[in-house]
Amino acid sequence: MVCKKGGIAPWKFKSLELFASKVKGPLFHLDLNQTSLDDMSSIRTVSIVDERVEVHVVKVLSVAKPLSIQAHPDKGLAELLHAMRPATYRDANHKPEMAIAVTDFRALFGFAGIQELKDVIRTVPEVAGLIGHEDADKLMTVKEYHDGNDVKSSLQSAFAKLMTASKEAVSEAVNKLKGRLNDESEIRTLTEKEELVLSLERQYPEDVGVLAALLFNYVKLSPGEAIYIGANEPHAYLSGECIECMATSDNVVRAGLTPKYRDVQTLCSMLTYKQIFPEILRGVPVQPYVRRYTPPTDEFEVDCCLLPPGEVVVMPPVPGPSIFLVMTGEGEVQADSMSDGEKAKEGDVFFVPAHTEVRLSASGHATMQLYRAGVNSRALYACNAAAAGKRSQLQNICEMAS
């Protein structure tokens, strides 16, 4: 696990990334001491995971400016990209991720439904012009009940035309759209998407991502709600604070709303082009004050604990290591191997080894908001069960042989 600071406000620690893998360096074990990121020198380094382990990354994100339109490759594509361009795609792993809103959170995710896309082509000539008559007509004639491959083919072709348009054509289209919407705002109320377009243009002038945003779902999360982002799905975080957990990888394919390197051809070819609004995850209560977010991937899960002052909760042991992060409030954290609890306050991070029970208590006048991130328990239990089965099978063979 590696802890980093820098770059995004307004949290006490401008940014926080916690890694559990060999890729980012050694694992820092906090031993449940009173250690915050303000004093990195007080963290003791120990080796407690095998060199081969590459688990997950936990981040606290405060998005003050929209992040890039991007997608993360699946494992097969990641291996190919890494082999072909290791300087750009630095590893061969996939990067499924989950964002849990801490405040109101806004994002773009996946393509809008076919009817909404038709409305864009019909009412936004600046987008239709860049797509071109042929591809625009194909989308306009597609029906929702048509074969999925037909819809995907039409959408992929139209999106690629938009994203690969010349800088001059994009600049002209964005400026025309901005001028038209500003004029129309004098006589009508703009839609949320139109307001979003103007906001994006102010931050990324003449960027094709301003136009592409109209083709995606506009997702609004309230605190405690989450979305899971699988491989090859387009997305962009727009604003708000979240806890983000993902598989350990640096692989990001960007194509808009960014000054960084853009790999437009790869992004356009890799996307699933599914048209579905993302499922909003609200977590499952596992005990009083604790909700668990379990995505459909083996690498991670996240527990959110909202503990009122004076209350106590015991987090049962899990078969893998965990990272505990105190977001707000104060209290005590006590592992089953400790005789006394340790003080915990906003910004404190604790590493807890596998099979360790943890007792949490809140004090002060505010609710203690705490997150636990670890390897997906279901996957770990399944692995343990499989290993136990193999041991039992081997024992039976030995007994038969004797």
Residues involved in catalysis: 254
**Contact of 355 with 317, CB cutoff 8 Å:** yes
Q: Which residue has the tokens 């307001």?
A: 195
Distance CA 290, CA 284 (A): 8
For the residues of 135-184, what is the DSSP string, one character each? HHHHHHH--TTS-HHHHHHHHHHHHHHHHTS-HHHHHHHHHHHHHHHHHH
Rounded CA gap, 353 and 401, in Å? 39
In Å, the largest CA–CA distance within the chain is 90
How far is the C-alpha of 400 from the C-alpha of 392, rounded, in Å? 12
Comparing C-alpha atoms, which of 81, 91, 84, 79 is closest to residue 24?
91
Q: How far is CA 126 from CA 136, 165, 173, 215, 216, in A?
A: 12, 12, 5, 13, 16
Paired tokens of 238: 């727009």
